[in-house]
Amino acid sequence: MDKLKKYRREIQEVLTEFARPRRLGTEKAEEFETQTIFDTVRDHYQVLHVGWENGKRTYGVIIHIDIKNGKLWVQQNWTDYDFIGELMERGISQKDIVLAFHSPAMRKYTDFAVA
How far from 53 is each of 17, 22, 28, 60, 86, CA to CA, in Å?
Answer: 22, 15, 8, 13, 28
| pTM beyond 0.85, yes or no | yes
Q: Which of 8-12, 17-21, 25-29, 103-107 has the lowest mean pLDDT?
A: 25-29
- CA 32, CA 45: separation in Å to the nearest integer? 20
For 88-109, what is the mean pLDDT?
A: 97
Q: Which CATH fold topology does 3-107 show?
A: TATA-Binding Protein (3.30.310)
Phi, psi at 56, each rounded to 5°: -120, 145
Dump pLDDT digits (tens) for 21-73. Answer: 865 455 555 588 999 999 999 999 999 999 998 889 999 999 999 999 999 99
Q: Is the per-residue pLDDT at 108 higher than 90?
A: yes
